[in-house]
Amino acid sequence: MKTEPEQQDHPVGEEQFHDGVGVSAGIAIGNAHLIETGLRQVPEYRISAELVDEEITRFNQALSRARRQITKLKQKSNALAGAAAEELGLLFDVHAAMLGSTRMIHSVERNIKERQINAEAAVQEMVREIARGFARVKDPYLAARLQDIRDVGSRILRQLTQTPYQAFSVLPAGTVIVADELSPADIALMDPTKVSAFVTALGGADGHTAIMARSMGLPAVLGTQDLLAVARSGQSVIVDGDAGRIVLNPTEATLAEYRRRAEARIRLNRQLARLRSLPALTLDNTVVGLEANIELPRDVNGALKAGAEGIGLLRTEFMFMNRESPPDEEEQYALLRTVVEGMKGRPVTIRTLDIGGDKRTAAMGNSVSHSANPMLGLRAIRFSLKEPKLFEIQLSAILRAGAHGPVRLLLPMISSVHQVRQVRSILKRLVARLRRRNISIADPLPSLGVMIEVPGAALIADSLAQEVEFFAIGTNDLTMYTLAIDRGDEQVAGLYNPLHPAVLRLIQFTVNAAQRAGKPVSICGEIAGDPRFAPLLVGLGVRELSMAPQSIPRVKQRIRALDTGPATRRALAIMDQADEGRVLALLDDFNESH
Ligand code: PEP
Ligand code: MG
């Protein structure tokens, strides 16, 4: 293998190594496909006079998001070496200046106000106006600036429409997507038979983009700003999701080395697949239920193949993505029924809509919060309770899907007992209505559970345990909200740590409260899928883990080699630690010796 490369100006075609954060394991060898920020279809329509102010606000919110994106890209480019940093830095400065230009902003606002057109159309019009002006002056410098203006226009448009990249379906097999930033909705559109991996400049290891990559088994490396500056579409590229490394224009020797590693992985996966029909039983015969986190009905096969005993988390919000309007009750019922029937009698935990935060969709129009802190805004259950019609449609579809197999109902981002009571009263009304209409629904009714993912919910776990039938601990958000670290922001990714004693104490408190009340408690955050954490979680008393299907065999292998006695003793020793580094050391030591 080659040693560390210099990050200098590389002649096109020379082998280059680039590092980022490996967020989804695996090795892919393919051809790069660079995604520009452009859009293909932009909706243009007229708006009524009373919607003008709202439209201007929507434009300004999109502008702020585009500015934040440029600021982050610029910060990352500063870390690069040599000419790449300078060139990219200048480009982002120009874009930032354009996004701040009062002339540009006024032009768009004027278009919205005077011509009563939507914000997207007004941005398009602004770009056209400038292009017309430039066309009159034949100047190569201005011609280059025109491309910048188009890029900036596209960036705002993408923020406005939240349109995912539509072109993924026409890519050749083996494509490696390289982009500034990809949303969870973008990843949902990728066809793993065509896209073999993706690489982005922005994004953290625990955001939903990374989770989607793991769930689809797509190797992914985020935070590789330098690659965008030097890569070209069509170039040969290796993505090493384990090491967080990209090799551009690999030599034959490097290719041979990575092919060998990829084959070793396949052999290991084949060995692990033999565990499929064996139970996740510890050496002292403690049963640990292993379930799958899935996003869409298409994931059911993968869950069954991995040996999932049920679905511990169905993230229904993905059924609302990549579309202009939300699915109606019939469509939701049909999708959920496919999952329930596909799982052939195994329980399916359906979580109600967790939209907001880093999960946005055009289907919800402007209803989802665009606040400065979307993770603290109108997200998940808060959104559902504010939009009772949408919520009732989803709950009815879930109740009806429950007629076809065992279903559990899970509420995201609960922070108070009152929210659970509100949901219970809505459910009561809906059940009565569906029964009156002779529509078949789950019988018995689905058990109702809550995600424990807000520190406040963990701290009232004993009260919540009196209100619900089960808990699912969402350690991804619990870590983010406890430590005040955006799980999708690569700038603070180094501080994000689910092994922080504060997070562990909240987990322990919740598990104990559930045990006292005799209620089942599972963990469905990403730590459940990491075999290194299994001794700690089992040692704390957790007997149900839900994870990306691909993680199930490895976690099962670890559990089958575990004794709960020593695991419990080590978990208690870990709970005495104040320093997260020490927690990891104790865990690593245990994993090496047991
Ligand atoms: C979590 O927060 O841990 C969780 C499982 O939910 P999501 O990742 O969908 O927010
Ligand atoms: Mg969550």
At 525-574, the pLDDT tens digits run 999 999 999 999 999 999 999 999 999 999 999 999 999 999 999 999 99
Centre a 10 Å sphere on the Cβ of residue 549 and count the other Cβ atoms it contains: 27
219 lines ligand 1 (CB under 6 A): no
Ligand 1 atom 6: the closest Cα is on which residue? Answer: 474
pLDDT at 324: 77
SS3 340: helix
Total count of residues recorded for the chain: 594
CA of 476 to the centre of ligand 2 (A): 6
522 lines ligand 1 (CB under 6 A): no
At 321-376, the pLDDT tens digits run 877 789 999 999 999 999 999 999 999 999 999 998 777 776 776 566 567 788 89
524 lines ligand 1 (CB under 6 A): yes
411 lines ligand 1 (CB under 6 A): no
CA of 475 to the centre of ligand 1 (A): 7
pLDDT at 131: 78
Residue 224 identity: T
**pLDDT band per the 50, 70, 90 thresholds, residue 4:** very low
Nearest ligand, CA 547: 1
- Please name every residue paired with 311 in a beta bridge, in sequence order, or none if there are none: 292, 348
Nearest ligand, CA 295: 1
Nearest ligand, CA 473: 1
Which atom belonging to ligand 1 lies closest to the Cα atom of 473?
A: 3
C-alpha to C-alpha distances, 293 to 288, 551, 552, nearest whole angstrom: 16, 10, 10
Nearest ligand, CA 522: 1
SS3 500: coil
C-alpha to C-alpha distances, 127 to 35, 134, 137, 157, nearest whole angstrom: 20, 11, 16, 11
H/E segment holding residue 272: helix 252-273
pLDDT at 148: 76
Say which DSSP state 356 is in.
B
H/E segment holding residue 449: strand 447-452
- pLDDT over 70 (residue 218): yes
Per-residue tokens: 311 = 């679905």
Ligand 1 atom 10: the closest Cα is on which residue? Answer: 477
CA of 412 to the centre of ligand 1 (A): 8
Higher confidence at residue 201 or residue 239? 239
- Please name every residue paired with 246 in a beta bridge, in sequence order, or none if there are none: 18, 239
Dihedral sign computed on CA atoms, order 122, 128, 131, 132: negative
The alpha carbon of 424 is separated from its chain's Cα centroid by a whole number of angstroms, namely 29
**pLDDT band per the 50, 70, 90 thresholds, residue 7:** very low
Per-residue tokens: 165 = 């990249």
Cα(440)–Cα(340) distance, integer angstroms: 15
Give the pairing type, strands 21-24 and 175-179.
unpaired
CA of 341 to the centre of ligand 2 (A): 26
Sequence-separated (6 or more) residues with CB below 8 Å from residue 174: 28, 29, 30, 31, 194, 196
Is 18 part of the annotated catalytic residue set?
Answer: no
Q: Which of 208, 370, 404, 500 is catalytic?
A: 208
- pLDDT over 80 (residue 141): no
- Please name every residue paired with 523 in a beta bridge, in sequence order, or none if there are none: 473, 545
225 lines ligand 1 (CB under 6 A): no
Cα(315)–Cα(326) distance, integer angstroms: 15
Average pLDDT over the chain reads: 89
Name the residue of 315, 481, 510, 522 whose CB sits within 8 Å of the most ligand 1 atoms, as the mutation to test its pocket: 315
Ligand 1 atom 9: the closest Cα is on which residue? Answer: 315
- Please name every residue paired with 425 in a beta bridge, in sequence order, or none if there are none: none
CA of 316 to the centre of ligand 1 (A): 12
Sequence-separated (6 or more) residues with CB below 8 Å from residue 231: 32, 34, 178, 237, 248
Nearest ligand, CA 472: 1
H/E segment holding residue 313: strand 311-315
H/E segment holding residue 433: helix 417-436
At 73-85, the pLDDT tens digits run 777 667 656 655 6
326 lines ligand 1 (CB under 6 A): no
Name the residue of 476, 507, 551 whose CB sits within 8 Å of the most ligand 1 atoms, as the mutation to test its pocket: 476
Sequence-separated (6 or more) residues with CB below 8 Å from residue 261: 27, 240
Say which DSSP state 10 is in.
P
Is 208 part of the annotated catalytic residue set?
Answer: yes
CA of 207 to the centre of ligand 2 (A): 10
**pLDDT band per the 50, 70, 90 thresholds, residue 185:** confident
Which atom belonging to ligand 1 lies closest to the Cα atom of 480?
A: 2
Closest C-alpha to 14, from 239, 258, 231: 231
Cα(229)–Cα(246) distance, integer angstroms: 14
291 lines ligand 1 (CB under 6 A): no
CA of 413 to the centre of ligand 2 (A): 7
Name the residue of 314, 358, 453, 486 whose CB sits within 8 Å of the most ligand 1 atoms, as the mutation to test its pocket: 453
SS3 46: strand
At 414-430, the pLDDT tens digits run 999 999 999 999 999 99
pLDDT at 478: 97
Predicted TM-score (pTM) of the model is 0.78
At 395-416, the pLDDT tens digits run 999 999 999 999 999 999 999 9
CB 539 within 8 A of CB 567: yes
CB 337 within 8 A of CB 404: yes
Closest C-alpha to 198, from 223, 165, 176: 176
At 100-113, the pLDDT tens digits run 888 888 999 999 99
- Which string of b and e fits 270-288 if b means at least 16 CB within 10 Å? eebeebeeeebebeeebeb
Name the residue of 311, 359, 413, 451 whose CB sits within 8 Å of the most ligand 1 atoms, as the mutation to test its pocket: 451
Per-residue tokens: 241 = 């999701």
DSSP secondary structure string for all residues of 58-104: HHHHHHHHHHHHHHHHHHHHHTS-HHHHHHHHHHHHHHHHHHH-HHH
CB 25 within 8 A of CB 241: yes
- pLDDT over 60 (residue 1): no
Range name among 182-191, 297-306, 466-475 with the lowest pLDDT average: 182-191
DSSP secondary structure string for all residues of 129-197: HHHHHHHHS--HHHHHHHHHHHHHHHHHHHHHH-PPPGGGGGSPTTEEEEES---HHHHHT--TTTEEE
CA of 458 to the centre of ligand 1 (A): 15
Cα(424)–Cα(432) distance, integer angstroms: 12
207 lines ligand 1 (CB under 6 A): no
508 lines ligand 1 (CB under 6 A): no
CB 351 within 8 A of CB 410: yes
Ligand 1 atom 3: the closest Cα is on which residue? Answer: 474
Strands across the sheet with 21-24, in order?
Answer: 16-19, 245-248, 236-240, 27-34, 175-179, 195-200, 220-222, 21-24
H/E segment holding residue 239: strand 236-240
Cα(149)–Cα(135) distance, integer angstroms: 13
CB 554 within 8 A of CB 531: yes
**pLDDT band per the 50, 70, 90 thresholds, residue 166:** low
Percent of the chain whose pLDDT exceeds 90: 61
pLDDT at 388: 95
